[in-house]
Structure 1
């Protein structure tokens, strides 16, 4: 609408100035059309620079997120820096357990932070502030331009115990070393076997009537615990190195 006002007032100013005879009416109309023209230009500039007719609106939303790792046992949130200063980054995660990994938008007005939580699920809380028009009048006047223009956005990732926040470089190194862990040496297998047998024996002393099925389940639990501890140790080493 404002563009039409600008075009029409320009045309009328030209016509009144060029085609009308020199008189008080010509002067009056030229002045009116000139004022309308300049007002339209000023409104356009102020809408672009100072967001005239607009107000800031903040919204919040929360969603459950899933590990970016292809392994269901390894809970990873990944991030990659933007630029060389390291002040901004994109975060990589999944919105569904079996879906493809996605990432936050790369924008200097979008900030990501990671916190720990006592909850059982990982979540992303989005706090977004935008410029929106105060009324339909202003929206129509400026043809809805710059509506929902981003002011700032903060994505807060809340990670439960057992999750790790790694860079993409650290994750790549973890993948390489994790493959080596899948083929332990004979000495490593023997040491783990002895440790597992010792814990099973201790559990049998406390509960001599433990069935074979319970013993097998216990072995699985102890083995998984050792694997988790080994993975945590490996991740700490990689984080310290890179």
Structure 2
């Protein structure tokens, strides 16, 4: 009924099209200036945290294992939105004030680090023990074995699930709108608050997210096919 009323009202339809077209550029800018940089920066920092956490969990140091396990358990056991709120709204109550964008980077990085660490840890543990023994037999120490033998092999195993995590992070960045980061969905909210066309603007934002994730999925597929050919050789 609602759609029939719109299609039967040329002025209403023209107004909606004007809103969608005029909102496209601000949303794209929000994606280019905030959504994509936030995703790349958070994922990069998160991977560094993940590698360190994974290595701590497989190390023989009880203290490192305990700290890493607690970190993973806490982050994976609490909602990402709650984590962002604690960083942005909670820390100021004890005098720690962080701007919206850095708060989002910290929150997403810690979240990515916890989840990706399990992927990396599993990939390292899946490497045959013979690889470790062979490296030790030619005089490599623990660090050299990790850097030259184990991590390169583990990276090929972990790239597909980590690629999925990266794509999921693109969508998760929409939560940053709730801590005042003017990324793509925040732009959609601001425009919708002025025009009251929430359905169409949120649908437009969803379409843009889908386009970004679709492009990343194509890139992921090419990377996986190249890795398959490399492994086959």
TM-score interval, smaller chain: under 0.3
Q: Who wins on radius of gyration, i.e. which is larger?
A: 1
Bigger strand fraction = 1
Bigger helix fraction = 2
Q: Which has the higher contact order (CA 8 A, sep 6+)?
A: 2
Question: TM-score, normalization: structure 1?
Answer: 0.19
